[in-house]
């Protein structure tokens, strides 16, 4: 089963067993922002659970601005079915909906991913990136490392010795660690990326849009999944509307299969807990 189909199956299973809050609103940055900067919106549920979504693919942001007022009261499951759709706006919204219901379930189950201790990373000889991560790239360059960058928008990547820019996932064949943007879930390219990585490599899916239940990702061979847990949705609403940084509204986390209880245990814990 493909990753997107497994995610949709998991979402249906949760909704069949646990009443979920409806959508409260879709938070989006202003349209006048610098389009060269990665931007994120958030799908908020009635209980304050927040699902981040990447809005910088194509015309995703203006498309979502046009339909944002139609989403209040919508069931999140009805949006998840569009994950991997050819329309990037629909697919981004679908991932935001799955992230929101994922965060709701983890909260109901009493599982806080931000309390999971970070594991020691193995030494990396030849790193790769899918999507350009400037802070990480600067660290690699400072160490004199050579690394591969797969980027659909090459203008975002500076010309520098050590950066091997490509649009072909096959260029990852020599990498022992790959840091991958979660936007590959939106454009349905993650499986292609995984297939291009050598068996001994470790792929880390990271970014706000990866704030989901990682069962389908671990089953597909993803080594770690990094997301964000929003703890102050009130501050988030104001920050996103102004186009300001929202980093103080939540905390980042990273999960591996060893640290994650799995959707079955989370669902069982949520069902045994008092209703909110």
Q: Is residue 193 part of a domain?
A: no
CA distances to 140, 156, 205, 261 from 161, in Å: 11, 16, 25, 42
What is the reported pLDDT for 232?
A: 95
- The 10 Å Cβ neighbour count of residue 58 is 13
Instruction: Assess if residue 221 is contained within a domain.
Output: no
| Residue 220 belongs to a domain | no
**266 in a structural domain:** yes
d(CA 111, CA 108): 8
Is residue 33 in some structural domain?
A: yes
18 in any annotated domain? yes
Identify the pLDDT of residue 36. 62
* Structural domain of 240: 3-112+232-245+261-272
- What CATH number does the domain containing 43 carry? 3.30.390.100
Predicted confidence at residue 120, as pLDDT, reads 73
Domains identified in the chain, total number: 1
Mean pLDDT by 10 residues, the chain (276 residues): 96 97 96 72 97 94 95 97 94 98 98 90 87 93 94 88 94 95 97 96 96 98 98 94 91 97 98 77
pLDDT of residue 119: 76
Question: Considering the domain boundaries, does residue 136 fall inside one?
Answer: no
């Amino acid at each position: 089963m493909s990753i997107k189909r497994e995610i949709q199956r998991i979402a249906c299973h949760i909704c069949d067993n646990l009443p979920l809050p409806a959508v409260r609103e879709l938070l989006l940055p202003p349209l006048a922002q610098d389009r060269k900067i990665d931007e994120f919106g958030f799908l908020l549920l009635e209980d304050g659970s927040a699902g981040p979504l990447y809005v910088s693919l194509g015309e995703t942001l203006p498309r979502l601005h046009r339909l944002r007022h139609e989403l209040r009261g919508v069931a999140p499951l009805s949006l998840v079915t569009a994950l991997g759709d050819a329309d990037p706006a629909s697919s981004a919204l679908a991932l935001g909906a799955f992230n929101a219901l994922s965060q709701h379930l983890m909260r109901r189950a009493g599982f806080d991913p931000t309390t999971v201790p970070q594991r020691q990373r193995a030494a990396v000889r030849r790193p790769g990136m899918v999507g350009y991560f400037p802070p990480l790239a600067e660290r690699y360059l400072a160490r004199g490392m050579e690394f591969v960058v797969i980027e659909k928008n090459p203008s975002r990547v500076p010309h520098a010795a050590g950066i091997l820019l490509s649009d072909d996932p096959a260029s990852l064949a020599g990498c022992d660690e790959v840091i991958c943007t979660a936007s590959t879930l939106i454009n349905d390219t993650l499986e292609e990326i995984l297939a291009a990585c050598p068996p001994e490599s470790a792929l880390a899916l990271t970014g706000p849009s990866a704030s989901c239940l990682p069962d389908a990702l671990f089953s597909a061979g993803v080594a770690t999944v990094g997301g964000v847990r929003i703890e102050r949705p009130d501050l988030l609403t104001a920050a996103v509307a102004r186009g300001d940084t929202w980093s103080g509204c939540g905390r980042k986390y990273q999960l591996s299969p060893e640290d994650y209880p799995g959707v079955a245990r989370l669902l069982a814990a949520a069902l045994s807990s008092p209703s909110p």
